[in-house]
Structure 1
Amino acid sequence: MKQSDVSGLQVSGLCYQVEGRTLLDSVNLSVSPGESVAVTGPSGSGKSTLLMCILGLIKPQAGSIVAGGQEITGLGGRQLAQVRRETLGMVFQFGELLPELSPVENVALPVLLDGGGHQDAYQRAENLLGELGVPTGSTPTGMLSGGERQRTAVARALITEPAVLLADEPTGALDPDAKEGVARLLFTSARDRGCALLLVTHDPSVAGRADHRHELRGGVLAEAEAV
């Protein structure tokens, strides 16, 4: 069974405090396969912290996170790494790609690191990049436009067929035309591939594309009014 065939993302009663400040106060959130949820809120409100908890990079003081049918909270380091490889895809604001590698090499990397064969990884990467409209030549990724780099980052996040796709300000560093293309690609890819998409953004036009919008403020996550 592919990861995208199982349940999406469920966050229940998530609490996180740091230095006496509450960033997440009994946060509940559910994203079904193929569904998209955008989280907005002021800078420093804990939006990225929520994503880091789901990735297992920050340990919450309380609560439960289930991604793709797998309970994440409480797992050890090796098990967490496996869940990240098999269940979670992540798109960062600045892509976090290796600029000296080609787009194909960057996208194939997660498969290779998980023990996949070189030929299969590169073929899958080329096919996915082709679908997403990214050049598949030998040009270093660092030489691509901002929009092409973010499309490459989306392809890298999708190549493992994750159950859950996370995006942290994925259009924040792009010009308006590139922003529009990457936003459309993210939401379309999640829907077509059956990923549960959780996206954090300051941009109301990007948030407005989501099936549901929530705002995180004072540690409390609440459904936002339609725009």
Structure 2
Amino acid sequence: MRHVPAPDEGLRIDDLTYRIGGRLLLDRVCLDVEPGQAVAVTGPSGSGKSTLLSCVLGLVRPQSGTISAGGQRMTGLKAGALAAARRRSVGMVFQFGELLPELTPVENVALPVLLDGGHQAQAEKDAVELLEELAVPHGATPTGVLSGGERQRTAVARALITRPPVLLADEPTGALDPKAREVVAGQLFEVCRDRGCALLVVTHDPNVAARADQCFELQEGALIATGLEARS
């Protein structure tokens, strides 16, 4: 399961500009996230944090600028090529997990591999390995009866199952209680460093942001370094 990144793998955002309804959300944003590095972006609601992630995923198209993930250019691609690039290069953790509650954790985690034509036995083996590393029960219990923290750690495992060089997380602890928040945040950052993923986290939580190697605040379309130091 361990992924050894190539030197050029990581997330590269260069001169990214995005406007909507006459409002400038991203103003020539530049950001590099190296393999194994974690970067957090904070800012008030509506400042453009989730829009930045949507641009990386190709869900919205910026007016200008380029994005590459894992050495794969993400901007300027047609729909089919973009979908293929996203499957290869980017994993995503959503605030509410977006899991299928009737499936077991192993089935949820293995699903992206199976939908991409992967081998079921290997996908389930890799899913069990990830779930064990993240301390999630992986028996026949439906995911819907797990605790909030266990469900979110399952979502982290699902995002990592395809071994993406880049992992995005949109408020990954926002729906959790304080104890679960600390556990999920700690394991999210640790597992990405272990696997050499470039991790970009959007969060309102300063304690989560402080775990990153670098932290920026999105202000009037620009990324401003906050000076927060990473902590374990």
TM category (shorter chain) comes to over 0.9
Alpha-carbon distance in 1 for matches of 2:179, 2:210: 17
Alpha-carbon distance in 2 for matches of 1:84, 1:100: 26
Counterpart check, 1:4 vs 2:8: no
Gaps of 5+ in 2: none
Gaps of 5+ in 1: none
Counterpart check, 1:126 vs 2:134: no
Task: Choose which of 157, 164, 167 in structure 2 pairs with 1:165.
Answer: 167
Task: Choose which of 28, 48, 51 in structure 1 pairs with 2:50.
Answer: 48
Q: TM (normalized to structure 1)?
A: 0.97
Cα deviation for residue 225 of structure 1 reads 2.7
Query: Percent identity at matched positions?
Result: 65
Cα deviation for residue 168 of structure 1 reads 0.2
2:209 matched to which residue of 1? Answer: 207
**Residues 1-227 of structure 1 aligned to structure 2 (within 5 Å):** 4-5=5-6, 6-226=8-228
Provide, for residues 107-154 of structure 1, a one-character-per-residue CA deviation record: whole Å limited to 9, x for no partner: 000110111011111111111111111011111111110000000000
Change (3 A) 1:189 1:81: same
Provide, for residues 30-61 of structure 1, a one-character-per-residue CA deviation record: whole Å limited to 9, x for no partner: 00000000000011000000000000101000
Alpha-carbon distance in 2 for matches of 1:151, 1:160: 16
Look up the equivalent residue of 1:157 and give its one-letter code: A
Residue aligned with 1:4, SS: coil
Question: 1:3·1:162 contact (CA, 8 Å) conserved in 2?
Answer: no
Alpha-carbon distance in 2 for matches of 1:112, 1:208: 36
Cα deviation for residue 3 of structure 1 reads 7.5
Q: TM (normalized to structure 2)?
A: 0.95
Alpha-carbon distance in 2 for matches of 1:105, 1:67: 27
